[in-house]
Amino acid sequence: MPLLVTDYSWIQTDSTVHINVPLKGAKSANVDIVCTDEYLKVHFPPFLFEAFLSEPVDDDRSTAKIGNGVAVISLSKRNNKVWECLMITTNNKEKKREIRERALLKLQEKHAAVSKAKAEKQRTEKKYALETMMKLEKDERERIQKIKDTERERTTAELEAWQLKQKEKAEEEEEEEEARLKLQSQKGNQDKAKAVMKKHEGGRSGGRKIKPDGRGSSEAKIKKKHVDVPAPRVPGNIPVTFTPRVFPTALRESRVPEEEEWLKKQAAARCAANADVEELKDLKEEERNPDWLKEKGDKCFATGNYLAALNAYNLAIRLNRKIPALYSNRAACHLKLRNLHKALEDSSQALELLTPPVAANAAARARAHVRRGSALCQLQLHAEGLQDYQAALKIDPHNKALQEDTVRVRDFIQGTAADPETQ
């Protein structure tokens, strides 16, 4: 049982009560002070000072100082008047116990409110920091893109000017060449005419006959000769039939319309290639094929060359923006390179393209959910990431690795495990 302190002293003013409690050699670290509007306790083992106050005080404005072996408690009165006594004059232990329990309950509620406010403040500050970081990254991307666009325009203008200059130079050289050839032709004709005149003069003087040149007549015969061109083929139609596709789903669970819509969507995506982009005209024919670029990116990713894989997927997406696998694979590259916001955008775009949800795209949807969930968890948004892991697990419920990752994220949210993305 603790020893009660009786050698305390107190003084008061109209607004404040000052209580001096001797600590009897106790260290300040061992002193525990509890104060509410109607109860005061100073505990320093084995001694205890309790005061069941006769008037209410404002515990929020009250203070306590410990020094020189004395605890000085300054209580701010709620009503500015002089107290007749410090404590209530009752010896009813039951009433005192109720006051003590009520005071401790108020103190616990106060501490809980303070902790909740502190946690809410930390969460708000963390959210604000994340939003600020995302905004800064967005501004930086826009600034870099603006620099790229400006540099591309400048380079394009210089290239066009150089091409125009080369074209004008080639035209000048061509005109000079034509003039030179024309001059040589005229000179050759003049020489031939002089030679013919000399031959005529020599033939008349010597009585010899000049044989006509056979080249002119042969050229005329070649010009008159007609080339026989075969007649055009007769047009016709070739009938083509296809074997109807059989869907494995049971008839009572048939998703044939969604399957047909998915197939039509994929066929339209394959036909949506944009090979007329100005910057892509210098590429080889195979390099303009999104499927070829996807295979190249997959090989680079498998060897750990994530930047090369990212470039291949970027070019493939510029050629065709309707293939979901390109966005999903590029999201995997961004995860490896820690470009978390870009990974989040690409995996979301892949999920938008993977509609309607059918058995043919189930595996791709599961991968996209896992990649988006991983990006969210690495951004410390574990609750949102857990939703994506659960969506992937719903698609592929027998995947053991996916089950373990989902449990790990859930345990982290509940506070029973470490951050799953740091393991």
pLDDT in tens, 33-85: 888 888 888 888 888 888 888 888 888 888 988 888 888 989 888 888 888 88
Give pLDDT tens digits for 282-296: 667 777 788 889 999
Confidence band of 273 (pLDDT split at 50, 70, 90): low
Which whole number is the average pLDDT over 315-335? 92
pLDDT at residue 85 in the model? 85
Quick: pLDDT tens for 224-263: 455 566 777 778 788 888 776 655 556 556 566 777 777 7
Q: Quote the pTM value.
A: 0.41
Note the pLDDT of residue 210: 45
Is the model's pLDDT at 306 over the cut of 50?
Answer: yes
- Of 422 and 85, which is predicted with more confidence? 85
CA 232 to chain centre: 59
| Contact criterion met (CB below 8 Å) for 349 and 327 | yes
> Is the confidence at residue 326, as pLDDT, over 70?
yes
Average pLDDT of the chain is: 82
Q: How many residues does the chain have?
A: 423
The tens digit of pLDDT for each residue in 86-137 reads 888 777 778 778 888 888 888 888 888 888 899 999 999 999 999 999 999 9
Does residue 211 have a pLDDT over 50?
no
Three-state helix/strand/coil letters over the chain: CCEECCCCEEEECCCEEEEEEECCCCCHHHCEEEECCCEEEEEECCEEEEEEECCCEEEEEEEEEEECCEEEEEEEECCCCCCCCCECCCCCHHHHHHHHHHHHHHHHHHHHHHHHHHHHHHHHHHHHHHHHHHHHHHHHHHHHHHHHHHHHHHHHHHHHHHHHHHHHHHHHHHHHHHHHHHHHHHHHHHHHHHHHHHHHHHHHHHCCCCCCCCHHHHHHHHHHCCCCCCCCCCCCCCCCCCCCCCCCCCHHHCCHHHHHHHHHHHHHHHCCCCCCCHHHCCCCCHHHCHHHHHHHHHHHHHCCCHHHHHHHHHHHHHHCCCCHHHHHHHHHHHHHCCCHHHHHHHHHHHHHHCCCCCHHHHHHHHHHHHHHHHHHHHCCCHHHHHHHHHHHHHHCCCCHHHHHHHHHHHHHHCCCCCCHHHC
Spatial separation of the C-alpha atoms in residues 290 and 325, rounded to whole Å: 11
> What are the backbone angles phi and psi of residue 358, rounded to the nearest 5°?
-130, 175
Q: What pLDDT does residue 53 have?
A: 82
Return the closest-CA partner of residue 377 out of 419, 415, 328. Answer: 419
In the chain, the percentage of residues whose pLDDT exceeds 90 is 32
pLDDT at position 140, please? 92
Q: Is residue 338 within 8 Å of 329, Cβ to Cβ?
A: no
Weakest mean pLDDT among 200-204, 208-212, 254-258: 208-212
pLDDT of 417 above 50:
yes
pLDDT, one tens digit per residue, over 140-182 is 999 999 999 999 999 999 999 999 999 999 999 888 888 888 8
- Give pLDDT, residue 261: 77
Q: Using the predicted structure, report yes or no on whether residue 218 has a pLDDT greater than 60.
A: no
Higher per-residue confidence, 312 vs 244: 312
Q: What pLDDT is stored for residue 39 in this prediction?
A: 83
| pLDDT grade for 370, boundaries at 50, 70 and 90 | very high
